[in-house]
Homo-oligomer: A and B are copies of this chain.
Amino acid sequence: MRRIKLTVAYDGTDYCGWQIQPNGITIEEVLNKKLSKLTGENIVIIGASRTDSGVHAMGNVAVFDTKSPIPPDRFSYALNQKLPDDIVIVKSEEVPSDWHPRYQDHIVKTYEYHILNTEVPDPTKRHNTYFVSYKLDVAKMREAAEYLLGEHDFASFCNIRTNVEDTVRTIYELEVLESECTYARNGHAAGRELTIRIKGNGFLYNMVRIIVGTLLRVGRGFYTPEQVKEILEAKDRQAAGVTAPPQGLMLMQIEYQDILLTKK
């Protein structure tokens, strides 16, 4: 029996998220079915991050155990032949048999949230960006982001939680990046694209999307940057901004540090 780690990319548009649901197809379900078909075994994967409906990934992680003779690094190729074209295995490799993608001491997750800030929506980016036509003060958004850096209790930035849950997380990086949008580059309409890139040791339910919703309120002038400090200290979901919609969000990578991942 070997444990195989998969790095998985997907367009989440047509899926009810990662985790198996009673009504609606999910990424996990498709991977279980295709892996079971490929190996002839009853495969149930363990995922690292249960992304929501409509959220995308470039580097989600899952593991499964198999007796298949397929070489570990060839699972990506074999599986990609069977998968629909909105799910791609980027990499497959063997890991120690007790290695778990969620329970590790040093995990760094990177998300990006893509905002199209222009006069009119771009139809080719409707599934991958959040379209916002109002004026945004990016300098103020960056100022507000500073307050969220480091270790904090992010209870104000979590949608559903149990009483026992630890809501302390550490954000290592939180950048608001600006780039030219296609309309502006071709002289059609004023605007730009914003990417909110966030790196942390873990994220609560909807945490990235609530942070984005809050930074957008700052950019719009509804909150001052300083108010984000108060929102954080309130430890109350009601204090923060709305949850930004799913399609702008992408899980970029999950890094497992200080761990000898590959089985020699």
Contact = CB atoms under 8 A, between A and B. Distances in A.
Contacts of A208: none
Secondary structure class of chain A's binding surface, majority of residues: mixed
A219 B197 CA distance: 34
Of A59, A80, A110, most buried by chain B (CB within 10 Å of CB) is A59
A94 interface: no
Interface in A110-153: 110, 120-124, 126-128
A192 to B, nearest CB: 15
A58 B183 contact: yes
A44 interface: no
Contact of A188 (B90, B187, B188): B90
A85 B189 contact: no
Contact of A252 (B80, B90, B186, B253): B186
Contact of A9 (B76, B87, B123, B187): B123
A208 B147 CA distance: 49
A230 interface: no
Interface of A: 7, 9-11, 56, 58-59, 76, 80, 85-91, 110, 120-124, 126-128, 182-183, 186-189, 250, 252-253
Nearest 4 pairs between A and B by C-beta?
A: A11-B123, A186-B253, A11-B124, A86-B123
